[in-house]
Structure 1
């Protein structure tokens, strides 16, 4: 079939746009990440004198870095619509966020949709596959205190011990509030067949849009971060919220990400922007930690039930284009998440100005010394 001039022009435009976006992303990383590291090196005396202020500044810089990643998708037309509970109500409390995992774009989507949730982004900790340690963002996550977990039975027990130690050492000392993890332990396309075989063998529901979650990391987080007595409600007022801050982990936020036509966005698409503008849908459901069982068997069943509910949510979404309304209601209400272009431009400008400043400084020092 012959290619028309219009089709050739469209392909050429897409390739040129992808090339320019890739060049911008590379430049963005070259100025932003070294600047983040250098600012924190210079601020090391503050870390000794006033650790709280140091980690506050680090958190702000971390949030700005994640906003830069969000901007790559935002300016390509990849937006987010939110459903379910309003997580802003618990943004100042400690929470564990459980997310289904379809592709690398899930992380970028979370980086975007959590930007307007108060202090969440700068005070959050991520649990991610150890391979991300060796990416361009690895050094940032290491400094911030995220945890890189190795998958597989051979590493499982050791990794859970390391996770517990990591949480005890860094979570409270750096004033973290939310911890994000993907309990499925891998991408949907990679784990679906194994999960379905396990479900069939153990007489568990057959899941197509999610996989059965793994218990280990969730159990360690709950055991390590949950206080003995738990909490109020999101609408309990300032007194309840103030009291809850001293009580450890307060909430579990069950987060379900859905892509149109079940076609997830990967990191390459997010960077290059060759896919048409896409709206990703994110559904939240908040559970008080006091309602989450502590015993391993009961916790496993509870966690399985959450992912069975995710399956139902995603099935409904792929059939209708919307999530179902909450129980007892007749209509589901969605909220379009927005980012300020002016704010994103300001952050990008700060990054490039910082990169230029550090370059000039090192050039000056080089000429002085040599």
Structure 2
């Protein structure tokens, strides 16, 4: 990818759920799509631009149909690309994998920005579910890509419904279902916040000195 970056983060929903859900459900009703409760229907525009610019390069015979987009949906980890690739790209020049992350919050109450910045919310456990897809699995045509993205979010909605009923994400396919617990390091956050405070203080003093010198 450009500048040697390893990851690109995309939020296809395009906003907070409590603001987007009603609009999403009206759109779904108008276009004969499922009404989602725990997520909103995604927008495919940004993903299409990304895949056109740094997505996998395909030959003219590559499949881009809806049928191709739905293959292997039951696997948590999809192992083999389903379209023929032109092998002339260097490794890292294009997106090779799509990591699909589904987040479940305690009591369905998400973490807000002020909670994270100010630390005013009591400690809680946030659950993240990962699924990995080869980027070549995503259809290159607009209709196919949009449907592929819709299918993933319809699955997310079903997964979250199951989680909030049972406390566990559903497991599909024969692949391993690995659960790992990650704890935040308070010392690390203390060091980071101390650095930011010291950096802000230093910048303020430098700016103040420059202001006094020139004016």
TM > 0.5: yes
- Structure 1 residue corresponding to 2:147, chosen from 293, 296, 301: 301
Give the C-alpha shift of residue 362 in structure 1. Answer: 4.4
TM-score by length of 1: 0.45
* CA distance in structure 1 between the partners assigned to 2:162 and 2:31 by the alignment: 26
* CA distance in structure 2 between the partners assigned to 1:353 and 1:335 by the alignment: 35
Number of residue pairs aligned between Structure 1 and Structure 2: 188
The higher-RCO structure (CA 8 Å, 6+ apart) is 1
- Structure 2 residue corresponding to 1:224, chosen from 53, 60, 75: 53
Name 1:250's counterpart in structure 2. 96
Which runs of no fewer than 5 residues in structure 2 stay unpaired? 60-77, 80-88
- Structure 2 residue corresponding to 1:333, chosen from 165, 170, 178: 178
* CA distance in structure 2 between the partners assigned to 1:347 and 1:205 by the alignment: 43
Q: Does the 8 A contact of 2:99 with 2:133 survive in 1?
A: yes
Which runs of no fewer than 5 residues in structure 1 stay unpaired? 1-93, 95-171, 235-241
SS at 1:178 equivalent: coil
Map 1:257-296 onto structure 2 (within 5 A): 257-296=103-142
Give the C-alpha shift of residue 281 in structure 1. Answer: 1.1
Q: Does the 8 A contact of 1:252 with 1:289 survive in 2?
A: yes
Would you tell me which structure has more strand in proportion to its own residues? 1
Q: Show CA shifts across 1:5-56 (max 9, x none).
A: xxxxxxxxxxxxxxxxxxxxxxxxxxxxxxxxxxxxxxxxxxxxxxxxxxxx
Name 2:193's counterpart in structure 1. 348
Q: Does the 8 A contact of 2:102 with 2:129 survive in 1?
A: yes
Name 2:161's counterpart in structure 1. 315
* CA distance in structure 1 between the partners assigned to 2:55 and 2:15 by the alignment: 26
- Structure 1 residue corresponding to 2:20, chosen from 173, 191, 205: 191
TM-score by length of 2: 0.74
Going from structure 1 to structure 2, the CA distance change for 1:355 and 1:202 (only over 3 Å counts) comes to closer
* CA distance in structure 2 between the partners assigned to 1:365 and 1:286 by the alignment: 51
* CA distance in structure 1 between the partners assigned to 2:185 and 2:208 by the alignment: 35
Going from structure 1 to structure 2, the CA distance change for 1:364 and 1:196 (only over 3 Å counts) comes to closer
Root-mean-square deviation over aligned CA pairs? 2.8
* CA distance in structure 1 between the partners assigned to 2:16 and 2:205 by the alignment: 43
Going from structure 1 to structure 2, the CA distance change for 1:217 and 1:341 (only over 3 Å counts) comes to same
Q: Does the 8 A contact of 2:56 with 2:135 survive in 1?
A: no
Going from structure 1 to structure 2, the CA distance change for 1:262 and 1:358 (only over 3 Å counts) comes to closer
Going from structure 1 to structure 2, the CA distance change for 1:272 and 1:191 (only over 3 Å counts) comes to same
SS at 2:36 equivalent: coil
Q: Is 1:202 the counterpart of 2:48 in the alignment?
A: no
Going from structure 1 to structure 2, the CA distance change for 1:208 and 1:363 (only over 3 Å counts) comes to closer
* CA distance in structure 1 between the partners assigned to 2:23 and 2:210 by the alignment: 57
